[in-house]
Amino acid sequence: MQVSVWRGKADGAFQEFEVPRHVSQTVLDAVTHIQRSLDSTLAYRFACRVGMCGSCAMTVNGVARWTCRTHVDKVVKNDQMEIAPLRNLPVIRDLVTDMSEFFDKWAKAKGKFEGGLTRNDDFARVSSESENRKQVDAGIECIGCAVCYSSCDVVSWNPDYLGPAALNRAWTLVKDERDSRKIERLRAVAGDAGCHSCHTHMSCTEHCPKQISPTAGIAGLKREVSLAVLRGAF
Ligand code: SF4
Ligand code: SF4
Ligand code: FES
């Protein structure tokens, strides 16, 4: 098959490679073949190859995907495939993006757990019957791959927008009964670049490989912010 691969930085261009087809071949296998057998200077990123680390995410035929879990058979068109770096992130080189701003936004959304106990207290426990816990069952499975972030048009229009992954993370912590920073976190996501900027067009939810719905979490944050305002907690 003919594979077009992005080369260089943001002002780079696609380069064509001829890659042999194999049974059960993944997109990551095709990229690896190019790097190992055709051009060793090709830069790309992967680690686990089994959908656990999220580092292999790229844009395949215009759609952000985990390349290790995407079979070529499912995406190839007319024996051709186009592979580019993730959208909405600076390109370091070829297929490798700089994830700094993605994770900086997790920090801006206060995506770090802050417990209220000391080492002298007993373990904090969350009951499996907890309604708050059940609401974030899916959301806590996020592995930070940035597929949703790359698929979100609001991030493209407003680079300050915290984006679906950071807001999903904030949502899981807002619902964590052990966390002690709920109001600070709601303040952090209530600004112009926060949950109210989401246009609810579901692109993040449609493309998340873990079937998480950041859209639902963001809607939950909007509700929690409104309740906090009504209660005078802001
Ligand atoms: S639902 Fe919101 S966060 Fe998700 S892609 Fe759309 S605008 Fe972005
Ligand atoms: S919500 Fe899904 S697509 Fe977004 S970073 Fe987490 S695992 Fe990846
Ligand atoms: S290499 Fe880890 S998710 Fe693809």
Ligand 2: atom nearest CA of 151 is 3
Model confidence band, residue 234 (pLDDT cutoffs 50, 70, 90): confident
CB-ligand 1 contact for 64 (6 Å cutoff): no
DSSP readout, 25-47? -BHHHHHHHIIIII-TT-----S
CB 41 within 8 A of CB 95: no
CATH 1.10.1060.10 domain locations along the chain: 100-230
Residue ranges, CATH 3.10.20.30, the chain? 2-97
What pLDDT is stored for residue 206 in this prediction? 98
Residues with CB under 6 A from ligand 2: 54, 142-148, 164-165, 168, 208, 210, 212, 214
Q: Which ligand is nearest to the CA of 54?
A: 3
Fold entry, domain 100-230: Fumarate Reductase Iron-sulfur Protein; Chain B, domain 2 (1.10.1060)
Closest ligand 1 atom, residue 214 Cα: 4
SS3 75: helix
The answer to whether residue 53 scores a pLDDT higher than 90 is: yes
pLDDT band of 23, cuts 50, 70, 90 = very high
Res 81 pLDDT > 90: yes
CA dihedral (104, 108, 112, 113) in degrees, to 10, reads: -170
The CATH number fitting domain 2-97, selected from 3.40.228.10, 3.40.50.720, 3.10.20.30, 3.20.20.80: 3.10.20.30
CA distance 82 to 131: 44
Reduce the DSSP state of residue 233 to 3 states and report it: coil
State the pTM of this model. Answer: 0.96
The percentage of residues in the chain with a pLDDT greater than 90, rounded to a whole number, is 95
Torsion of CA 176, 131, 171, 223, to 10 degrees: -130
Q: Is the CB of 32 under 6 A from ligand 3?
A: no
In 76-213, where does DSSP find H-type helix?
100-108, 131-135, 147-151, 153-157, 163-174, 182-189, 203-207
The two structure tokens encoding residue 216? 């639902």
**Helix, coil or strand: residue 194:** coil
Instruction: Check pLDDT > 90 for residue 233.
Output: no
Mutate to test the pocket of ligand 3, among 52, 95, 96 (most ligand atoms within 8 A of CB): 52
pLDDT, residue 195, reads 98
Where does the pLDDT of residue 67 fall: very low under 50, low under 70, confident under 90, or very high at 90 and above?
A: very high
φ/ψ (deg, to 5) at 170: -60, -40
pLDDT at 104 over 90: yes
